[in-house]
Amino acid sequence: MVSGMTVRGTAALGAVLLSVLAVPAQTATAAPAGDGDASVRAGAAEDLAAPDVAGLREVLRTALTQGAPGAMARVDDDGTVHEVAEGVADRTTGRAIANADRFRVGSVTKSFSAVVLLQLVDEGALDLDTSVNTYLPGLLPDDRITVRHVLSHRSGLYDYTNDMFADTVPGFEAVRNKVFSYQELVDLSLKQPLGNAPGAAYSYSNTNFVVAGMLIEKLTGKSVQSAYKSRIIKPLGLRDTSYVHPRTTIAGRHAKGYLPPDVPDGTLTDSTEQTVSWAQSAGAIISSTRDLDTFFSALLRGRLTSAAQLAQMQQWVPVNSTQGYGLGLRRRDLSCGVSVYGHTGTVQGYYTYAFTSKDGKRSVTALANTSNNGTVLNTMARTLESAFCGKPAKAAPAASARVAAPVERYEDIAPGIARD
């Protein structure tokens, strides 16, 4: 329903968007590799307030005033679906954006890659605390870098996208139609030294999930595309999800992506068609709000891995006062004391937030068809508050409203480059 809301019964599973807010529900603690799930936040499933659909719509409308051509969100709430959409999917035709549109999910792909590797752990083909070089001899410069370090962004490997996209639009145009091998991407990273000793610190790097893709292909003997399809897409019945690298197009109905330059001048580049070869297993999946809700709900409900491996995914390394990173999974703590689990995604022309509740019963996926716009990035994070915390409580001005989210200083691509 264009610029509207539909509510209907559904068996679809959910995924929830993450939000960064100033007051944490509980401080994250780092979980040492190999330890038990000591860092998983205490408590079982919370009783959630009803989603604030009007508030969700207002967030999307705000994103439009800040430069997003279109924005949409879907909440799957234990059998009830709320869909909201504002603006356009195509600036040329003026077609309205809708939750039926497919889009590039960017780094949400990392959660898919992590799930495949954890399934391989369940099958006895992989050990999280074994050196990556045991499986891929000679690939990395330090034998101490383990699979766990890679999946938790604690390897120290430099993120090559910092160099690739230092200039946003020229950088994108230089790689839009290029096809890289995994080895070429790793080699770009290794031109720079490790940023820290393996395991010493969290530092987001796309290189880690390029290595994850190499591990998937080495251990399965098949392509990443085949692994996603046979292990996740088909079992969950994800009708809109695909991995088509190096094809440049998005099949079927989809939202176009629009990339602004580093210096705002009103010019937008249509960035829809590209190989996404610069990311591959770190960011090249195509999906929809419905499918991402289904994926993250299934993950947190234990449908994709054993309980033991799901617990491993939730051994949180602190990112900041309100965020933790596990194994290909983010945790965000909201102002109402609820924590949500999923991933954010940035790829040229698309911002995605996809998160679910602890029990997987409520999920939200939100999409704005722009990127390189820190204001929109922060605004879209507020969809999590509306989806999981409900309407803000009415109170006196001095104590009212929720604490504003701190500014996100970087995106999932070129994380070392701060852009307002």
Active-site residue list: 107
Q: Indicate the burial class of 133 (C-beta count within 10 angstroms; 0-12, 13-18, 19 or more).
A: middle
Residue with tokens 């705000």, as numbered in its chain: 62
Is the Cβ–Cβ distance between 97 and 88 less than 8 Å?
Answer: yes
Cis geometry, peptide bond prior to residue 246 (ω within 30 degrees of 0): yes
Cross-strand bridge partners of residue 81:
8, 76
Angle of CA points 216, 217, 223, to nearest 5°: 115
Is the Cβ–Cβ distance between 381 and 402 less than 8 Å?
Answer: no
- C-alpha–C-alpha distance, residues 173 and 167, integer Å: 10
Is the Cβ–Cβ distance between 271 and 372 less than 8 Å?
Answer: no
- C-alpha–C-alpha distance, residues 225 and 280, integer Å: 10
Cross-strand bridge partners of residue 254:
102
Return the structure tokens found at 386. 């509306």
Q: Residues near 181 by Cβ (< 8 Å), separated by ≥ 6?
A: none
Q: Which amino acid is at 256?
A: K
